[in-house]
Amino acid sequence: MAEDQSADTPTQESGEEIHFHEHARDQAVQQIRTYGQELIRESVATAKTRRHPLVLQKDVQYASHRLHTEFRNRKNVLFQFMGAGLIGVFLQGFTAEMLTAEPNLWAVVVYVVVGFSGLFGVFWSLIR
């Protein structure tokens, strides 16, 4: 059975020719189409907001930047929520463990590690 010609298209990567598997190429094409549609919609919305009679190159650049930063913002919000949740687990667990008559050392260590992980997640999202 003959291989699909689109799967045989080579790409240059550090001097070697690398071929796409048929399914990988289809996935890449689908991702490009999806992003292209989002970029066009965002570019048109930007041009309308700026009251341009047609979509300009700077509208497309701005739209591309917004789509990229929107993705980063979603990721940062996820880090913030996860970090805040871990800090909450630390505060509740550490306090409860320390208020017991005989605190379990390993539980305290685990809660401290969870707390530092939460702080790292929150601060990481803030510096990015």
Q: For residue 99, give the amino acid letter.
A: L
Q: Taking 50 as the threshold, does the pLDDT of residue 3 lie above it?
A: no
Number of domains in the chain: 1
What is the C-alpha to C-alpha distance for residues 94 and 110, in angstroms, rounded to an integer? 9
Number of H-type helices and E-type strands within the chain: 3, 2
> pTM of the entire structure?
0.50
Residue that the structure tokens 């009679």 belong to? 53
pLDDT, tens digit, for every residue of 4-36? 444 555 566 566 788 888 899 999 899 899 989
Domain that holds residue 19: 5-127
pLDDT, tens digit, for every residue of 39-89? 999 899 999 999 999 999 999 998 888 888 777 777 888 888 999 999 999
What is the C-alpha to C-alpha distance for residues 92 and 105, in angstroms, rounded to an integer? 16
Q: Is the dihedral of CA 128, 72, 120, 88 positive or negative?
A: positive
